[in-house]
Amino acid sequence: MSHPRVVSPVRPVRRVRPVRRLAVATAAVLAGALALTGCGSPDSGDSPDGAGLSVGSAYMPQPVSDSMAAGFLVITNKGAAGDVLTRVTSDVAGDVTVHRTVGQTMEEAERLDIPAHGELVLQSGGDHLMFERLKRKPREGEKVSVRLHFAKTSPITVEMPVKSATYNPKTGH
């Protein structure tokens, strides 16, 4: 639709390597990232045909109301090919959209690029996930399941911890 604005330029891909071995590495990286962010379950965040994507630093600040919430995470692409985040779904929300913060306004982004050897950063004050039509109000200490869909890579499920409303990843509280 409207805003296919590119977060950072995607390098033209000349050569796509077979990724069998990368997948193992990705799983290990994922497990590490998930352990760091306290997202326990071993099978979450796995990408079987992994194009080198891993997800870390995921959290949702406990929302003010039961109508809307934000979510943040970083998708790292260790692969030599770029990918695109095309769609996000969640068990707690009827609708999840990716929003870009442009100055003081937000606008819905159709697809966000994850450059080769780069990352897509969704962080407070910048681009973020917006959860609408919440089925319940997520509370601090819970986890919400978020499924990330990509143009090339198989979907990755992230168990996103719900933090306090004032949580700051820089200070860790």
Partner 1 sequence: MRKKLFAASALLVAATLTLSACGSGDDSGQSVADVSVEAGSDKAATILDQPFEKPDLVLTDTQGKPYDLRAETKGRPTLVYFGYTNCPDVCPLTMSNIAVAKKKLSPADQDKLRIVFVTTDPKRDTPAALGKWLKGIDPQVVGLTGDFATIQAGARTLGISIEPTSKDKNGKTISMHGTQVIAFSPKTDGGYVLYGEDATVDDYIKDLPKLIKGQNP
Which positions lie near partner 1, rule CB under 8 A?
A: 1-3, 61, 63-65, 68-70, 99, 101, 104-108, 124-125, 128, 130-131, 165-166, 168, 170-171
Q: Is the Cβ of residue 19 or residue 88 nearer to partner 1 in the bound state?
A: 88
Q: Closest distance between partner 1 and the C-beta of residue 73, in Å?
A: 13
Return the bridge partners of 156, or none.
Answer: 148
Q: Is the Cβ of residue 121 or residue 130 nearer to partner 1 in the bound state?
A: 130
Q: Is the Cβ of residue 101 or residue 154 nearer to partner 1 in the bound state?
A: 101
25 phi/psi in degrees, rounded to 5 = -60, -45
Q: Closest distance between partner 1 and the C-beta of residue 149, in Å?
A: 19
Q: Closest distance between partner 1 and the C-beta of residue 166, in Å?
A: 4
Half-sphere exposure of 58 (CA within 13 A, CB side): 28
Q: Is the Cβ of residue 143 or residue 163 nearer to partner 1 in the bound state?
A: 163
Please measure the distance between the N-terminal and C-terminal CA atoms of the chain and give it in whole angstroms.
38
d(CA 55, CA 99) in angstroms, rounded, equals 18
Q: Closest distance between partner 1 and the C-beta of residue 96, in Å?
A: 11
The gap from C-alpha 106 to its chain's centroid, in whole angstroms, comes to: 18
Q: Is the Cβ of residue 57 or residue 154 nearer to partner 1 in the bound state?
A: 57
Q: Closest distance between partner 1 and the C-beta of residue 127, in Å?
A: 10
At 18, list the tokens. 């077979």
The gap from C-alpha 7 to its chain's centroid, in whole angstroms, comes to: 14
In sequence order, the 6+-apart residues with CB closer than 8 A to the CB of 9 are 115
d(CA 152, CA 102) in angstroms, rounded, equals 27
